Amino acid sequence: MKRELINKPFVLNHTNWGTVQKESYELAVLPWGATEPHNLHLPYGTDTLQSTDIAVGAAEVAWENGARCMVLPAIPLGVQNPGQIELPFCLNTRPSTQKLILEDILISLQTQSVKKLLIINSHGGNDFKSLIRELQPQFPDTFIGVIDWFKLQECQAIFDEAGDHAGEMETSLMQYLYPDMVDLLDAGSGESTGFKVDALRSKLVWTPRNWTKVSVDTGIGNPDKATAEKGEKCFDYLTRIVGAALKELASTPIDDLYE
């Protein structure tokens, strides 16, 4: 499944100045992913591809319902764990670098009088809450928000075992969106180990997982039960629920966000 995106006014990479100058945009949508191994059967760009397609699908829903939003080019740079950083072509980006990227985008949007930005995040290592807290005082008249779509319980409930990384959920989505990029025959089992220390295992204490010590194939979660049909169901849910959020955010003045 691939949509025709030529000159769609809600996708920046697929439109032009001739179209954009005729519209008044209320909300910018920023897909943010990562570049990293995803087991043996999914591409390095899985997170970025998924965040982009979810953002575009949701923006299309919102646009058709009167919201004027624009999907920006995706950022393919994520924060990586020890054990991932050392793997070939796994690109690690420090949170401080992400803050600078986000700040520059906000400055551009502020200059152009676009005062709402929503990040669609696909990578578990990216934590935008602290970055938004730090940047918000610098942009007091701008709305800055984030959706970590993979954390939505309704989305995870579609699957027998959603998985943490390159498991059933991510594999199903990629089977639906990019079937030519997925071959389950190549997949590893996605088996993983955890911490020995009770405080870490119970998450009373948090520390980054060392990826090579918890996973043999870089996957965490079994992809065997993945299907394109489950991926389609998940994608349809995401575009509907995120699309509704885009419409509501776009149509609500910043001063009216609170009761």
pLDDT at 128 exceeding the cut of 80: yes
- The Cα diameter of the chain in Å comes to 60
Model confidence at 5, pLDDT cuts 50, 70, 90, reads: low
- Read off the pLDDT of residues 75-116 as tens digits, 9 standing for 90 and up: 999 999 999 999 999 999 999 999 999 999 999 999 999 999
Rounded distance, CA 148 to CA 146, Å?
Answer: 7
Whether 36 and 80 have beta carbons less than 8 Å apart is answered as yes
pLDDT at 148: 98
DSSP state of 161: S
* Total residue length of the chain: 259
Of the CA atoms within 13 Å of residue 50, those in its CB half-sphere come to 32
Model confidence at 1, pLDDT cuts 50, 70, 90, reads: very low
Write the class of the CATH domain 12-256: alpha beta
pLDDT at 150 exceeding the cut of 90: yes
Average pLDDT of the chain, as a whole number: 96
Region at 121 (left for phi over 0; alpha for psi -120 to 50; beta for the rest): beta
Element (H, E) at 69: strand 69-71
- Read off the pLDDT of residues 28-59 as tens digits, 9 standing for 90 and up: 999 999 999 999 999 999 999 999 999 999 99
Rounded distance, CA 35 to CA 80, Å?
Answer: 9
Domain boundaries, the chain: 12-256
